[in-house]
Chains A and B, each alone.
Chain A
Amino acid sequence: MTAAHQITAGFMPLFDSAVLVVASEMGFAAREGIELKLHRETSWANIRDRIAIGHFDVAHMLGPMPLACSLGLTPLASETIVPFSLGLGGNCVTVSNAVWQGMAAHGAAPDLDPARAGAALGALIRERTAGRREPLRFAVVHPHSGHNYELRYWLAACGVDPDRDIEIVIVPPPFMADALAAGRIDGYCVGEPWNSAAVAAGTGHIVTVKALLWRNSPEKVIGVRKAWAEENPDALAALLRALHHAARWCQAAQNRGELAALMADARFLGQPTKIQMPVLTGHLELGGGVERTVEDFFVPFDKAANFPWKSHALWFYTQMVRWGQLAHTPENLAIARDCYRPDLYRSALKPLGVALPGANAKVEGALKVATPVGSAGASLVLGPDGFFDGQTFDPDRIDAYIAGQQPA
């Protein structure tokens, strides 16, 4: 029997590709009549190129990446839309042992507190500048990534100018821990398991996590070639349902062992099971034998994690403007607003009778505690979603937000 839909998907070896992997390997795609072909890729540039020229119909992508594609910021631009989010959180900021010692001398404690760690890092950077030492070099995975924006947001809020006071370079995720160990970089922001890998190797300390910088914040998404989505609405809807079931499976605590074993397969992450567990439990080893448990460290399904909020896309947009990647114009804003597609998510999942948010956007950072929201069919709990510096982002007041974030 041949499947009703053939879908080709690209992914990068990161834990947050799990929902896509599980959809394929645990039979969720097949149950929706989909033959899902997964292709492991070596760079985000390859994912973008292969989506653009039609090798891939859909792909595991950095949340801001489809925006960058649609806004023409990438060498090979293409209209890419986002009908599904692959989860919230999952990243950490890791520094070398030397930088950690320097931060500790300025009051950092192994508690992951972003304000405290940021203040200590800021003091260390000022001390180095005064001593005319080389600026610290941090790595992120891509210029158009949540990692780049959250690292910059954190540093800027702690009084560090990420363009002037440090250097930010690009390093592929699987190389991060090695680059840190070799002294080519002093720190990095990346998804798991590439932080726990450095801690396990004894070469890095985790200083803070995405979930504490902006709780329940957006990370990877499913990017879809717009032309393919328009020509294959049934295949896309079937895929979104398969991903929904796969994400629910990934969230369930009883599946953690099986999920870690699956991702440890050489075809996917190829890293030991033990190193996959921190992302699943939120129980992290920070380095130096210290352990901490982070609530909502990585959320693959709960709290409407898969809903492609337009406010998430628009926040990414504000950061592109903030860091000089893009001009804030009505045209660009309109492209950003149209890129994430909650309408497609809603129409695909409606037949399942699952809880769906009523709105397409929300004020980010406004929910201080987990909040049940009225929704069709079932109950839905959102948030908390606070930024560590207490700011909020109202997608209806973008001009004011952008103006408020201009560098001094």
Chain B
Amino acid sequence: MSAGSLTILVIDENRIRASIIEAGLRDAGHRHVTVVHDVAGIARRIAEIEPDVIVIDLENPNRDMLENMFQLSRAVKRPIAMFVDRSDQASIEAAVEAGVSAYVVDGLKKERIKPILDMAISRFNAFSRMARELEEARSELENRKVIDRAKGILMKSRGLSEEAAYALLRKTAMNQNRKIAEIAQSLVTAAGLLGPLEGE
């Protein structure tokens, strides 16, 4: 049987992450992938889709509601078990660590589910790495702004060149074993408190 014969439902309120997972599943040859962002009316969707595997992000607060639905199995018609195999502790840990949970129709073979879960885990990890890098880039930009302001203050109040102002910030940071941005922030804060120093 080809990989594409499994029907997979991805429930993720984060559209970007959901599309990353979907792309990965399609690349791996899965043709029956449905992505749902909103759990409103999910029972009907599940009944229509009849998924073999449901991948959901752990941060979705509706997991309790979904699990209850699975247990009543009115919507799903088939018993749903969780994760690949309850005994596969390593897979479960990796999934929870990455923030993903998978529900699998009972009786599906572990060998068939494992690659799907592994893919979801790696995509979740890739997404959080991306989000982290984005956050770092944003704070990098913020840092640069605050350093520029601190340089300006030093240039004005001490009559330094831009280069000398930066060197002073760097030297102070090194002496105090702190980041330049932190020193710059302290200087900006202090200047704000002292008012006239900044000449504003």
Contact = CB atoms under 8 A, between A and B. Distances in A.
Interface of A: 42-46, 49-50, 53-55, 75-77, 141-143, 169-172, 174-175
A43 B11 CA distance: 15
Nearest to A73: B71
A46 B58 contact: yes
17 contacts: A42-B58, A42-B59, A43-B62, A45-B64, A45-B67, A49-B96, A50-B96, A53-B89, A53-B93, A75-B67, A75-B80, A75-B83, A75-B103, A76-B83, A142-B64, A170-B69, A171-B65
Interface string B23-62: 0000000000000000000000000000000000011111
Contact of A43 (B64, B82, B96, B103): B64
Contact of B60 (A42, A44, A75): A42
A77 B69 CA distance: 18
A172 B83 contact: no
Interface of B: 58-65, 67-69, 71, 80-83, 86, 89, 92-93, 96, 101, 103
Contact of A170 (B60, B68, B101): B68
Given A42-B61, A174-B61, A76 B92 contact: yes
A55 B63 contact: no
A118 B110 CA distance: 49
A169 B40 CA distance: 13
Contacts, number: 60
A53 B96 contact: yes
B102 to A, nearest CB: 10
Contacts of A50: 96
B71 A43 contact: no
A164 B71 CA distance: 18
Question: Which are the 6 A-B pairs with shortest beta-carbon distances?
Answer: A75-B82, A45-B63, A172-B61, A170-B65, A43-B63, A42-B61
B65 A169 contact: yes
A46 B61 CA distance: 9
Contacts of A75: 67, 80-83, 86, 103
A43 B93 contact: no
B188 to A, nearest CB: 26
A53 B92 contact: yes
A169 B62 CA distance: 11
A99 to B, nearest CB: 21
Contacts of B83: 75-76
Contacts of B92: 49, 53, 76
Contacts of A172: 61-62, 64-65
B38 to A, nearest CB: 13
Interface centre among A43, A141, A143, A175 (most CB of B within 10 A): A43
A44 B64 contact: yes
Given A53-B92, A55-B96, A143 B71 contact: yes
A45 B86 CA distance: 15
Contacts of B81: 75
A43 B60 contact: yes
A19 B61 CA distance: 23
Contacts of B61: 42-43, 172, 174-175
Nearest to B89: A53
Nearest to B58: A46
Contacts of B96: 49-50, 53, 55
Contacts of A175: 61
Contacts of A169: 65, 68
Contacts of B59: 42
Given A46-B63, A75-B80, 15 more contacts: A42-B58, A43-B58, A43-B61, A43-B62, A45-B63, A50-B96, A55-B96, A75-B81, A142-B64, A142-B68, A169-B68, A170-B64, A171-B65, A172-B64, A174-B61
A189 B170 CA distance: 59
B11 to A, nearest CB: 13
Nearest to B65: A170
Contacts of B86: 75-77
Contacts of A174: 61
Contacts of A141: 64
A73 B122 CA distance: 30
